[in-house]
Amino acid sequence: MTDQPIKAEPAGPGGTPPAGTGLSPRQRQQISRAVQYVVLVAAAVAAVLFVDWASLAQNFAKAEVAEQALPELFTIALKNTLIYSVGGFFFAFLFGLILALMRLSPVRPYRWLAIAYIEIFRGLPALLIFLMILFLPLALPGFEVPGDLYGQGILGLTIVGAAYMAETLRAGLQAVPKGQMEAARSLGMSYGRSMTTIIIPQAVRIVIPPTTNQFVSLLKDSSLVLFLGVSGEYVELTKFGNDLASTHANATPILVVGVTYLLVTIPLGYLATRLEKRQGKGR
């Protein structure tokens, strides 16, 4: 008895599968999309029917309460948030660069110290760092962080940000072709001068997109400054919104503060994406 070859049945009209073979991928995709639309419509209808929009607007979007946030929302809270964030980013970048160079150093103790710092402070919650700073005067009597509460907030963001910045900068340094260092040394430059004039500038250009995202992260982490007990002229956005919400027993200031954060972070995130795409095209 000879084996008979099995012939595939031709597809039906319009690309439909033959009877008994189930749905085509296109049909499954259409059904899946239809189900998603049904779910979205059902969710929208449920929101319209069951959410108390009047109560929601009264508690989260009360115009009279929102007006109370102005102009201090921008002249004090946003200004202080930017001071903490920019200051923390600046020192985190410098300290992170030092850690990155130590991480790549041929001297083992330098590498060990850098690795220990990076692993420890990347593993600890940022809030814990700020609480440690809060209790520094008890652990070190007589010690004061320069800049008062501004200095304490910037110190906390620096400690947190440097650990992450170090890894970003290390990746940037390693992305610079090794031939650049070899060419610089062949011209008689010292190792230090080669790093500062040739390697580091190229690495900084490479890491601009990820460091922009790092700044956005520090901007959001600046809300932890409220645990340092800031008040008055030192308040940042989150503390400002929380105090105003408590005063009016209304959540509108929290929503206003959230929108203010988004007005800063969304453009920065978009900028980081554009820079990353432009950098990718240039390679």
pLDDT per residue as tens digits for the range 118-160? 999 999 999 999 999 988 878 888 788 888 899 999 999 999 9
By the 8 A CB rule, do 180 and 200 touch?
no
Question: Taking 90 as the threshold, does the pLDDT of residue 239 lie above it?
Answer: yes
Question: What span, in angstroms and rounded, lies between the C-alpha atoms of 76 and 176?
Answer: 42
pLDDT value at residue 1: 47
CATH number of 69-282: 1.10.3720.10
Average pLDDT over residues 60-66: 86
Q: Which of 7-16, 74-83, 198-207, 265-274 is modeled with the greatest confidence?
A: 74-83
Q: What percent of the chain has pLDDT over 70?
A: 91
The mean pLDDT value for 51-66 works out to: 82
Q: What value, to the nearest 5°, has the Cα angle with vertex 278 and ends 158 and 267?
A: 55
Q: What is the mean pLDDT of the chain?
A: 87
Instruction: Tell me the mean pLDDT in the region 260-283.
Output: 83
d(CA 56, CA 69): 19
- pLDDT > 70? residue 9: no
Q: Domain-by-domain residue ranges, the chain? A: 69-282
Q: What's the confidence (pLDDT) of residue 63?
A: 87
Residue 106: is the preceding peptide bond cis (ω within 30°)? no
Q: Give percent of the chain with pLDDT exceeding 90.
A: 47
pLDDT band at 109 (very low <50, low <70, confident <90, very high): very high
